[in-house]
Amino acid sequence: MPPTLPPAIDKTTDPATTLARIANNSSVMVGGFGSPGTPFTLLAALLQRAPHGLTVIKNDANEQGIGVSTLMEAGCARRFVVSHMGLNSAVIEMMNQGELEVEMHPQGLLAEKIRAAGAGLTGILTDIGLDTILREKRQTMEFQGQTCIVEPSLRADAALIHAARADRWGNLVFEKTARNFNPLMATAADLVIVEALEIVDIGELDPDHIHLPGAFVDHVVPADTTLSDYGVLKHHVAQT
């Protein structure tokens, strides 16, 4: 008989309880690239708490009225660390009006800054952007005969993560392009909250197919799949 884990190792809970742990003025990483991988259930629950002063870290701004954009539109965020928000004119307008402080990074460097933090590293050295206006706001140094931009690693107080499947310990499996920033952010925050489309018992996920081990995860919440956000956005479907 294989040993059975005690029921104490059960991280499943409800969104309201876990999100109460996110304080005003804290920094929150949000997984997702566009809609896939965006934790819509957790974001809806966070919005209900009407926090203020948040620093939100996400690849993009979703689209107006969707996902992380709802936090921005409701004035919950003071600062936004992002790579691209070309599909969200509402948030671009907030930036232009000075209602939202925006810090932009090349997409791969945003990922790597988060990955570095998760790996316990202080920063990274890169030549990306050396010939551009990005250099003006960044520290540079000479290293091994080359000029490098010094990018500090990027950690947050909390991370909101979307997974396709999770077990009760928080082992995670992601699906298709919904993986994106999720496994990286889950390594780089003090409080890691995961929503999953399906939650299974320990032992049901093939160890060879687990993308992120449960050691990085604090809480697992069932995704509310009745939310229309989890469906297909019709305006992005090819017209035939």
Residues 6+ apart with CB under 8 A from 13: 219, 220, 221
Q: Measure the CA dihedral 132/135/141/147, to 10°.
A: 0
Query: Taking CB under 8 A as the rule, does residue 108 contact another protein?
Result: yes
Query: Taking CB under 8 A as the rule, does residue 55 contact another protein?
Result: no
35 close to 42: Cβ distance less than 8 angstroms: no
What 3-state class would DSSP assign to 201?
A: coil
Q: Which is nearer to another protein, 4 or 239 (CB)?
A: 239
Q: Binders of another protein among 149-168, rule CB under 8 A? A: 164
Q: Which is nearer to another protein, 70 or 187 (CB)?
A: 187
Q: Binders of another protein among 2-31, rule CB under 8 A? A: none
Query: Taking CB under 8 A as the rule, does residue 123 contact another protein?
Result: no
| Window of 69-77, 142-150, 180-188, 201-209 that interacts with another protein by CB under 8 A | 180-188
Q: Measure the CA dihedral 187/68/45/157, to 10°.
A: 30
Cα separation, 52 vs 34, in Å, equals 23
190: number of Cβ within 10 Å? 13
Q: Measure the CA dihedral 222/87/107/209, to 10°.
A: 30
The correct pick among 18, 27, 35, 69 for binding another protein (CB under 8 A) is 35
Dihedral sign computed on CA atoms, order 37, 81, 79, 151: positive
| Window of 11-19, 109-117, 139-147, 148-156 that interacts with another protein by CB under 8 A | 109-117
Q: Which is nearer to another protein, 22 or 100 (CB)?
A: 100
The pair of three-digit structure tokens given for residue 3, joined into one six-digit string: 């040993």
| Window of 8-16, 44-52, 128-136, 216-224 that interacts with another protein by CB under 8 A | 128-136
Binding site for another protein (CB under 8 A): 33-37, 59-60, 63, 82-87, 92, 95, 104-112, 114-115, 126-129, 131-134, 164, 174-184, 211, 230-234, 236-238, 240
